[in-house]
Amino acid sequence: MLFNSLTFFAFIALFLPVFFLARGRIRLLWTLGASYAFYGWWDWRFLFLIGTSTLFDYAIGRWLDVTEEPGRRRILVSTSVVVNLAILGFFKYFNFFASSLESLATSLGITLSWTTLNIILPVGISFYTFQGLSYTIDVYRRRCPPELSLLRYATFVALFPQLVAGPIVRAADLLPQLHRDLPFDWQRARYAIELIAWGFFLKLVLADTIGFQMRSDPWFENPERFSALGNLLGVLLFSFQIYGDFAGYSLIAIGLGHLMGYEFGINFRRPYFAASFSEFWQRWHISLSSWLRDYLYIPLGGNRGGRRQTQRNLLITMILGGLWHGAAWTFVIWGTLHGLYLIVSHAVERRVHKLQPALRSRLRPLRFLAIAIVFILTALAWIFFRAPSLDHAVTMLARILTLADPGMTVSHDKIGLVKCLIAVALVIAADAGMETSRFRSTYLASGLWRAAGLMAILWGIALLGTFSGTEFIYFQF
């Protein structure tokens, strides 16, 4: 079920009144049933997998609760990690690794004949797998008490606003909230509506306008047809499309959770205003980057083993983060690029930190240049994220970097391009305003300004929105 569909509006109109009237177990049962209906709307068969995963991780948590012997506890948590990753690996990576091994064998003169499977990737499996893993690992580390109620734990895993595409909410943060029954609150509802409205603006006005009006497929699937500037335009527009699409989904999910009385935490914080790649990953998909930091980077050793080990750990973390996004070598390269970006970014930050405070203060005006560099490098990395194959990505990047066929050749509707650029300009202006602490504090403190802002957002959606009902990009991950 899509947030940007009439079916979802009917669903939420039915769900919310009963949710706020119910209390205790009835509220949990209603929420769990609605969440399963929401998830099963795509394919009811997916419910068996999420149900099995839920039962397994719940049982591991209960066993960890009654087991004190360290060795047995390690076996239990290791079993959880292996089983969860095996399920994820089978559905998401079986054919990728099978075909990659077959290609490698062929290049060595060895003939292999693998049987590939017609596997349907369950929607949101990467997100709820990571959510379940964080629960069992945190219970093992004694950072989260085990949940005794299967109903409450199942609701935590399947809670529909964040089930399909995040944010990835930790058990230690969300499970305690499921123990309380907050009544409807107008003040909370007003803020939730603001979040939801801006989320729909990012999706319908920014992401879907770019996707529908410009249709980035020709750029990425036939980059040789376009000039260097034409390809660069396609890359820049996709950079804003994926931002609007995913940040929009996250805001709608966070707003729905807030309306229900649950705090999910922020997932995007104006990432294209980052002045370093360390800062970028503190602003982009925050729930995933913090998950990779706490459950992969730090266990690998983090920055505790010296510079070389830190660089190795950063690279491994980002490569696996890229692979998490998709079963293709293009995603591996995308993650590798961001790993290299982070390594260089850390080196620059160390050098800047060693400078005298007076000299560092003189570098502050260069922040705008740093933001531009980070954005451009991020946009170029998006080529590998979006391209259908490695050959297409290399061709597109080569045409951009070599300034092939100078000029702007864009075989698209010019009016559609203008509409896309207006949407981009509006979002940049809004993000720039909220990036300024003085403006942000003044705006948030004024009920009049916030009411005017909400009306402007709604009018912007009505006048500029593209109501094509397209899926969110991150559903495929």
Residues 166 and 246: their CA atoms lie apart, in Å, by 9
Residue in 72, 94, 96, 74 with CA at minimum distance from that of residue 85:
94
b (16+ CB within 10 A) / e for 194-231: bbbbbbbbbbbbbbbbbbbbbebebbbeebeebbbbbb
248: how many CB neighbours lie within 10 A of its CB? 26
Instruction: For residue 353, indicate whether it is catalytic.
Output: no
CB 90 within 8 A of CB 116: no
Q: Which residues are within 8 A (CB) of 346 and not within 5 positions of it... i.e. 6 or more apart? A: 278, 310, 311, 314
Catalytic-labelled residue, pool 258, 325, 346, 412: 325
CB 80 within 8 A of CB 60: yes
Residues 450 and 255: their CA atoms lie apart, in Å, by 16
Q: Compute the residue count for the chain.
A: 477
Residues 185 and 89: their CA atoms lie apart, in Å, by 42
Residues 117 and 255: their CA atoms lie apart, in Å, by 39
SS3 225: helix
Environment class of 161 (CB within 10 Å of its CB; exposed 0-12, middle 13-18, buried 19+): buried
Q: Known catalytic residues?
A: 325
